[in-house]
Each structure stands twice: as structure tokens, then as C-alpha cells.
Chain A
Amino acid sequence: MRVTTVLRVALRRISSRPFQTFSVVSVIAFSSGLAVALFLAASGLRLGLVNAVAPFDIAAGVRGSPYQLVLNTVFLQDVPAGNIPADAAQRLSDDSRVDLAIPVALGDTYAGLPVVGTTSAITDVKVKGVPWLRIKEGRFWDGAFEAVVGAKAAALTGLRPGDIFRTTHGSIGGEEHGTPFKVVGVCHSVHGPYDRAILVDIASVWAEHDHGGDGHESESGGEVTAMLIRPRSYADAYGLLASYQRDQSCQVVFPAQTAVRLFSIIGQGEEFLRAVVRSVAVCTLLTTILILYWSGASRRDERELLHILGVPHGALAAISWLEGTMLLSSGVALGWIIGRAGVAAAFGLLGNATAIEPTIPLSAGEISIPAALLAAGSIGAFFTALEHTSDRQP
């Protein structure tokens, strides 16, 4: 029997039962889509996290919780813990093991968005050799009371080069500072928390707090909330960590390590999701095989007829296998699209609200889900086909 005949019979079986085909393909699509979506959600959040942490090798801040330090400096969340004295900051900047030291002064906001006082050193940060913070519109500041706005911050506030704004001490509801800032530039997206930041010259922050004389315990001349540090080498990084182990004024942490630990505290989230993804995939597979088994079992008469017409058992098995594999592959392909589109839409909805920006680039892990389903499913279809063709009378 010719291959085209086998294919035609299998295709006809699928096309002549639109309702059955639709429901089978839907079941496979939704369950495999769920597996893909869960995987993408988990890996997307992790990638967002990795992206957020990537620019900063080392963070140094006042002694206390390393989590708070990383939340403050890398994710621009939570209330700053306190300041490190000017001399300690200076000592860090002068350390021979430090390649780049970026001071950050946190605590002020504009429209609920973090105002980050820093220096132009922040434009020297590179991720994988590529400049991290790039200006999209306007220029970087070169004077006091000039500001550069992150991509999401610009979108949320509508601030454009030339606009004037006043910062607030603390978060919303705090007291407004006197001197207005002038926006001089807008950044490209860094796909991380700094997209929500408004960057200003740290000297302006100091000036604001000094001459305000407001008596707050806040940044004044030379004090910084934290230092973001690029070491000269791995060895220097560990050297810094070791020498600040017992320092009274300062703690030094690796944000990547701290972030991973922080997120593993939140319920072993990813491990759990992975287990769920695997279970969903196994359920999809079992459902598919069950469906194929039953739809095949209901066609015993047709197989008997084809066999008596002179179709050999091999071709009968090929028809069942093709039918199953075609249903499976259309379901899995559809599921992949649904899963990906669903997660992309969900992440899009989260939009500007989140600190980290989850991304879902195509990965081997993602492809492995539909690929494994297809492989295991077509093997399952093969065995169901064999089972069915051997149920004839002896």
C-alpha cells in the first residue's frame, strides 16, 4: 500500500470528525500550553532578576541586612537602611582592588519613583562588554540639579528633556525639596529596576539636604547610601569581601548571591514551578495516549475492514500512528503559541509596575517541552498503534 494512501486515510479520519478533532487538539493544546506558560513565567522572572543584578558585581552599604542593601540599591525598593560615612566611601573608592565605584544616594522620590543621586561613573557600567545605561534623548547631566530619566519613569511621568520637577523627601506624602531639577535626558531601557529611576547628580542631593537644614537624618556632604563597585578581578572581588568581613562601618555583598538567596526564600518558587511543569507535561502525555487509545479502540471494525481489503498490519499501524501524531503535533504547536502568547500578554500587563522586567527569549528549555511531548507522544502513539493492530483474532 502506498504511503500517500496511508496518509490520505489518516488525514480523512481527522478531517471528517471536526468536533472530535477539535476537542482532542484543544485538550492537548491547553495542557501543553500550560506547561510552556509555567516554564516561561518561571524562567522569565529569573531572567528579569538576572538582568536586574547583572550590572552590579558588588554592593557596599551600611552594616545590617544584606537583603535590604540589595533591595535598596539593585531593585530600588524598600526604605534605605542608612548611610555610610564619607570617609568609608572614600576609602572604598580609593581601594586598589576597585575598578569602578559608583556612589548612590537614595531616599528621595518623584511621583513615587526613586530619585537616585549618583555620579557620571554610572555611565561606565557595562554588561557583557556593552554600555549598560545609554541616553536615548537629550544628554547626560553635566551640572547640578540636572536629571536623567529612566525609560519607564519617562513613560509613567511624561517627563521630557526641558521639564522641571521637584523631588520629595521620602516617598509620596513627604516634604517637597526646594530646588527644582531640570530634565536633560531620557535613557534607553535597561530592562531592569533602573528603568523606574530618575538619576541626578549626587552633589545636588547633598546640597538639597544641607541647605534645607531640615534636621532629617539624611545624606549630607559626602555620605552615601551605598557604593556599587566593579572589582578589577574575581580575586579582588573576594579580597574585598574578605577584608570588609569585620568592618564596623560597611558591609560588602555580591548582589547576585544575595538576590538568589532572597528569591529562594520565597518558597523555592522556581523548583516548585519546574515540578509543576513536569507534572503537567506528564498529564498531557497520558491524556493524549488515553485519547489515542480510545479513538483507536473504537475503530476496530474499520481496521478489520481495511485488513480484509488487503491492507497489511504495518500500514494499519502506520495509519493509527500518523493520525495520533498529527493530532498531537497540531495540539502541541497550538499549545506552544498559546503558552507563549499568554505569558507575553501577562508580562505586558504587568508592564511598568514591576521593578524587574521579565523577558522570554526562546530557549532550549522552552523548546524541550513541546519537543519532549512530541517525542514521547509519538512513541506512545506507536505503541497504541501496535496494540490496536495486534488485537485482531488469531
Chain B
Amino acid sequence: MTEIKGDAEKIPSIWQISGESPPRPLLEISSIRKDYRQPDGSNMTALRLGPLTAYPGEAISVTGPSGSGKTTLLRMLAAITKPTFGEIRFAGQDIARLGNAEAAWRAVSVGYIFQDINLLPDFSVLENLMLASEISHVPVKAAESRASSLLTRLGLDGRKDSRPAKLSIGERQRAAVARAVIHRPPMILADEPTASLDAENARVVIRMLTELCAERRALLIVATHDDAVRRALPRTVKIGSEAAL
């Protein structure tokens, strides 16, 4: 396990050590900064991060104290918001330049998991999966078969017709995992996915996430407070005061 303090490029990549020809990076972040304008008109820096490169199939935890900018980073990676300075390249493309195609890009490229609300309350678990697939242009037949195998793997077979409110918190987060991977995105972003879970449920969710991402060689980035989660993932990016530039 490599620990990277802020500046990822200072640590030699495994590909440099092994000498094999490296695969193309999926994510290339230059030094970025995100400022928010305060109500009093001054700017407040929500996040600073040194250059970072990530490859398909990697699993990375992002840690840092509350308010250090973990959520801000994930939102920038999902192209919900743009960095004030610096550039984020996804498969070679600057995602700040997506413009109006931003939502369509996210629909196929990103799977996102929130800490809690991950399912539409008026739709059953299965309907949530089908709706997410539809938004991501997965054909219905494929979506149906993926949904049924994912639900089985995540132990949600008996709960597929339930509304989210009827599920336990652990079941809800497992359903969220299924919902985030059903369209097979190349990048999965999870913002404190285990924060509301007990240790056992947290372990299951992280194991399922890493397994599913590894199978499809998807890049997994998990923002977390949880040391157990950090230890479970092979690479960690620390942000905030500990990594202040």
C-alpha cells in the first residue's frame, strides 16, 4: 500500500518500477484549487490538491478531516462543479470543457454513491436500477439481466420490489452499489458510502465495490473518514491540513 501525501507524482508509479509499458491513465489531475465565494464577497479555498494520476482498475481512498474538501473533489471529478484553477482530464479530455454535454458524459462515465440518499423514494429498488440504466442508455434486456445478477450478488433478491424507505440502511447502501455500477462506468466515485453503516455492513459494501470495480477494471475513488476503509483500499490520497501545500 502506497501512501501519497498530497503530491502523487513524487512517488514512482508501479509501471515505472516494473518497466512494463504503462496503460493510459484514466484520470490526470494537474494541481487544482477550488475557491468558493463567501457571502461577504471574499474567497474561501475549499480544496488544494497536487497533481494526481489514476489508472483503470485502481482503488483509491481520499481522506482528510471534515471540511477538507473531499466532497468538493468528488463533485469536480463528476463534472458537477469546475476547479477554479487547474485541469482535470478524463481519458485525455478536459472535463471542464464538456459544456452542455456534462450530464450526458456523467450518465455513461461516472457511477456516484452518496452517504445516504442514493435511491429515488417513489421507485422500488429494481425500478431505481432500471431508471439509472435508462438514463445511461443501457438497453432494457441487458439492464434486466445485470440488475438481477447484481441484486443476487448483493443479497437483495427478496427486496427488489421494495421502496427504499422499507430497506435497512445496509440494504440501501448495497442497492446504491448496484445502482452505481449497473451501467458499467469506467469511474466510480463514492462519498462516505459507509458513514451510516456498522463495521460489518461497511466491510461488505467496500468489498462489493472493490470486487465489482476490479472485475470491470473501473477506477474506484472513495472519500472516507473510516480508517478501516482506508486500509482496505490499496492507495490513499490525503487532502486538507495534513497535506497542505
Which residues of A line the B interface, CB within 8 A?
Answer: 1-2, 5, 9, 12-13, 16-17, 301-302, 304-313, 392-394
Residues of chain B with a CB closer than 8 A to A308's CB: 78, 80, 106, 110, 112, 114
B118 contact from A305, A310, A311, A394, Cβ within 8 A = A305
Contact B108 A310 (CB under 8 A): yes
Instruction: Name the residue on A nearest B189 (C-beta).
Output: A308
Provide the bound-state CA to CA distance between A312 and B134, in Å: 14
Known A-B contacts A302-B121, A308-B106, A309-B107; A393 and B81 likewise in contact (beta carbons under 8 Å): yes
Provide the bound-state CA to CA distance between A393 and B34, in Å: 13
Known A-B contacts A5-B134, A394-B36, A394-B81; A305 and B103 likewise in contact (beta carbons under 8 Å): no
Which residues of B line the A interface, CB within 8 A?
Answer: 36, 75, 78, 80-81, 100, 102-108, 110, 112, 114, 117-123, 131-132, 134-136
Residues of chain A with a CB closer than 8 A to B107's CB: 309-311
Interchain residue pairs with CB less than 8 A apart (24): A9-B120, A9-B131, A301-B117, A302-B120, A304-B117, A305-B114, A305-B118, A305-B119, A306-B120, A307-B80, A308-B80, A308-B110, A308-B112, A308-B114, A309-B131, A310-B104, A310-B105, A310-B107, A310-B108, A310-B135, A311-B103, A312-B104, A393-B75, A393-B80
Provide the bound-state CA to CA distance between A210 and B20, in Å: 133
Contact A309 B123 (CB under 8 A): no
Given contacts A309-B107, A309-B112, A312-B104, 19 further A-B contacts (CB under 8 A): A1-B135, A5-B131, A5-B134, A16-B122, A302-B117, A304-B117, A305-B120, A307-B80, A308-B106, A308-B110, A308-B112, A309-B135, A309-B136, A310-B104, A310-B105, A310-B110, A311-B103, A312-B100, A393-B81
Provide the bound-state CA to CA distance between A148 and B82, in Å: 89
Residue of B100, B103, B121, B131 with most chain A CB atoms under a 10 A cut-off: B103
Q: How far is the CB of A20 from chain B (nearest CB, A)?
A: 11
Residues of chain A with a CB closer than 8 A to B122's CB: 12-13, 16-17
Contact B106 A310 (CB under 8 A): yes
Contact A311 B135 (CB under 8 A): yes
Provide the bound-state CA to CA distance between A256 and B117, in Å: 69
Q: How far is the CB of A3 from chain B (nearest CB, A)?
A: 12
Q: How far is the CB of A322 from chain B (nearest CB, A)?
A: 14
Instruction: Name the residue on B nearest A310 (C-beta).
Output: B107
Q: How far is the CB of A52 from chain B (nearest CB, A)?
A: 56
Q: How far is the CB of B113 from chain A (nearest CB, A)?
A: 9
Contact A310 B103 (CB under 8 A): yes
Instruction: Name the residue on A nearest B163 (C-beta).
Output: A16
Instruction: Name the residue on B nearest A13 (C-beta).
Output: B122
Contact A12 B103 (CB under 8 A): no
Q: How far is the CB of B81 from chain A (nearest CB, A)?
A: 6
Known A-B contacts A1-B135, A5-B131; A307 and B103 likewise in contact (beta carbons under 8 Å): yes
Contact B117 A12 (CB under 8 A): no
Q: How far is the CB of B11 from chain A (nearest CB, A)?
A: 31
Provide the bound-state CA to CA distance between A311 and B103, in Å: 6
Residues of chain A with a CB closer than 8 A to B131's CB: 5, 9, 309
Q: How far is the CB of B106 from chain A (nearest CB, A)?
A: 5
Provide the bound-state CA to CA distance between A200 and B139, in Å: 84
Provide the bound-state CA to CA distance between A308 and B102, in Å: 10
